[in-house]
Structure 1
Amino acid sequence: MFESKMTTAEILKRVRRIEIKTKGLSNHIFAGEYHSAYKGRGMSFSEVREYTPGDDVKTIDWNVTARFSHPFVKVYEEERELTVMLLVDISNSSLFGTGQRLKREIITELCAVLSFSAATNNDKVGVIFFSDRIERFIPPKKGRSHILRIIRELITIEPASGSGTNVGIALEFLNSVLKKKTIAFLMSDFVTLPFEKPLLLASRKHDLVGIQVFDQADKILPQAGLLKVRDAESGAELWIDTDDKAVRNQYAKNFQNHSDYCRQAFAKSGASMMSVRTDQDYVKTLQAYFKGR
């Protein structure tokens, strides 16, 4: 399974490596975009300052102005504290990857970047780990130590017994444990049962974003003769002739049909969705999403 044989020292070293990389990205690339994309719930009084030409006269604090015999204005700032929930697919299919990195490794970095971006803006972060059931729930909190705990869990967690994927269960759990509106990032390859209804309910309550993480081999079957393949989640095995063009075309069509289903389901619910391939740079994808909000 995923890094299950790592020692404590190796885990801590990897946590630190991920922190350095993703915290740098969040500080220098995403902090401004995140802040612009997710504004606070309103404005709260911060302080007063002397009036300067061009200030809105509606903001004049008449009590302070009377006391000092010249005008002062009220200064407001955003109530920025929000809650970010990460819904993380840890099913067996997340352990697939034909390049240098597995889907789970990409998901781990995405979670870390989003967590540090949220922390920079003083937002809380929580996690729901799921497979075909809820595997673990980390309630939202603030602070670097909390984010480092999340990264450690991302590196080491394994599904207790579930091997499949059920996005609907994760969304239903989100609705049941988070009563107030949250920003929710759902990260999965979406090898799952239909999930339109729970997606619709969750997107009505929360600001929901889906991130489809996939490998090139999920989309294109390599031409390599007769191969014995095994489904990571069901365990089913079969022989396929990858030299058969019809087989390869059907494989690609199945992936495209499923991706279309996911995009349509998110669009109908009013939620956002983006795709990230394991051998491509996710930075540009995230930047484009934040700037497009």
Structure 2
Amino acid sequence: MTQAGTAPPGADDGTARAEAVLSRLQLLVTRKLDGLLQGDYAGLLPGPGSEAGESREYRPGDDVRRMDWPVTARTTTPHVRRTVADRELETWLAVDLSASVDFGTARWLKRDLVIAAAAAMAHLTVRGGNRIGAVVGTGSGVPASTGSRGWRRRRDTTPPAEPTPPSMVRLPARPGRKEAQGLLRAIARTSIRPGRADLGALVDMLNRPPRRRGVAVVISDFLAPVEGWARPVRKLGVRHDVLAIEVVDPRELELPDVGVLTLADPETGALHEVQTADPALRRRYAEAAGEQRAVIARALRAAGAAHLRLRTDTDWLLDMVRFVAAQRHARTRGTTR
């Protein structure tokens, strides 16, 4: 564990950039998301709640486990018991700041999208006494032994002078917008280290200690091996509403035809020279990337998590607004995610 928000000497430029990004995000989020989720809800993914409310007639798609049998017997018409969502919501973020998110070839870096998603979650959930906390994970400080498909252009392949332990920071859940802004600053100032973060261990931190039902949001590019994080996400979904926000760069889905590229895996340090003028290679890359994303989507769906994909080359706020609106529409019609 390390202290939240600590930065190494010489990180003033990174801190200034983080503050600038947060200031711009605050304006964007306030303009487009404010008022989006007003009313009787339990956060971004408004669930059925746990407190008993009034009864209403059964409609196709309603959960039969909420049948109100005494009212059904009296009226001879099937009724279900409505439930009122808890007024105090606790939201926890698992923020993956592994080396693979320090990359971007379009309008945003993937790191910026991670911070943007965290800012949007904070804005949507911190009101009325709701609390928000986070666990933040980054690399171990040394290259990992195996790679992933998260390639980027070579920057600096010099290994650090000595190994440092993996970094996972827990930021306690507190109510209020001021506390939420402090949490976002701590996330934005977190230094990204080389090496792979253990996404499974990061998600598992949200399961300990056991908490009352709430919302758990996992923000990552999910490039870590699926078998390492799928089970913790499934476990998380047993008790909480889980939202998985996947950040993607278009170059992770397909290669451009720009000749020979020297690429470095940011998590392992492995180098590859790629001839992007070869159409067969570009086709194989796109097919492998598509299969990788399909495996990620299947694992999240099997875990019962809502899945939102944000790309660095699109309007992420518009994508988020559409996603939230679709979730609310599905809930009000009595359907499931």
Q: Is the 8 A contact 1:84 1:184 kept in 2?
A: yes
Aligned partners of 1:109 and 1:285: how far apart in 2? 12
From 282, 286, 297, give the equivalent of 1:248: 282
Could you tell me which runs of 5 or more consecutive residues in structure 1 were left unpaired when the two chains were aligned.
46-75
> 1:78 Cα deviation (Å)?
5.1
8 Å contact from structure 1 (residues 215, 278) kept in 2: yes
Distance 1:82 1:192 in 2: 30
| Selected match of 2:172 from 139, 153, 159 | 139
Give the residue type in structure 1 aligned to 2:297: R
* Alpha-carbon shift at residue 156 of structure 1 (Å): 1.2
- TM, length-normalised to structure 1: 0.79
Pair 1:36–1:181, CA change in 2 (3 A): closer
1:186 and 1:36 map into 2 onto residues whose CA distance is: 13
Distance 2:188 2:303 in 1: 31
8 Å contact from structure 1 (residues 44, 77) kept in 2: yes
1:178-257 maps to which residues of 2 (within 5 A)? Answer: 178-193=210-225, 194=227, 195-257=229-291
* Residues 153-168 of structure 1 mapped to structure 2, 5 A cutoff: 153-159=186-192, 163-168=195-200
Higher helix share: 1
Residues 28-67 of structure 1 deviation map (CA, whole Å, 9 limit, x = unaligned): 445568758425734599xxxxxxxxxxxxxxxxxxxxxx
2:22 to 15, 18, 25: 15
Indicate the residue corresponding to 2:323 in structure 1: 289
2:62 paired residue number: none
Q: Which amino acid aligns with 2:107?
A: Q
Q: Does 1:38 align with 2:46?
A: yes
Measured in 1, the distance between the counterparts of 2:50 and 2:42 equals 17
Segments of 5+ residues of structure 2 without an aligned counterpart are 1-6, 54-82, 140-165, 328-337
When the two chains are superposed, the root-mean-square deviation of aligned CA atoms in Å is 2.9
Rg comparison, structure with higher value: 1
Please give the per-residue CA displacement for 1:120-154, whole angstroms capped at 9, x wherever unaligned. Answer: 34321111111355521101111122111122122
| Deviation (angstroms), 1:187 | 0.8
Judge conservation of contact 2:43–2:215 (CA < 8 Å) in 1.
Answer: no
CA contact (8 A) 1:40 1:80 kept: no
What is the deviation of 1:93? 0.9
Q: Which has the higher contact order (CA 8 A, sep 6+)?
A: 2
Measure how far apart 1:238 and its partner are: 1.2
- How far apart in 1 are the matches of 2:325 and 2:285? 34
Three-state SS of the structure 1 residue aligned to 2:277 is coil
Structure 1 residues 234 and 10: alpha-carbon distance in aligned structure 2, compared to 1, 3 A threshold: closer
Tell me the CA shift for residue 255 of structure 1: 1.3
Task: Kindly indicate whether residue 134 of structure 2 is the aligned counterpart of residue 127 of structure 1.
Answer: yes
1:19 maps to amino acid: Q
Q: 1:144, 1:12 → 2: CA distance?
A: 16
Counterpart residue number, 2:112: 105
Task: Give yes or no for the alignment of 1:280 onto 2:314.
Answer: yes
1:41 partner letter:
G
Question: d(CA) in 1 for partners of 2:270 and 2:120?
Answer: 35
* Sequence identity percentage: 22
Map of 2:95 onto structure 1: 88
User: How far apart are 1:226 and its partner, in Å?
Assistant: 1.3
Contact 2:33 2:321 in 1 (8 A): no
Stretch of structure 1 that moved more, 79-88 or 5-14 = 5-14
The number of residue pairs the alignment matches comes to: 262
- The alpha-carbon distance between structure 1 residues 12 and 44, as it changes in their structure 2 partners (threshold 3 A), is farther
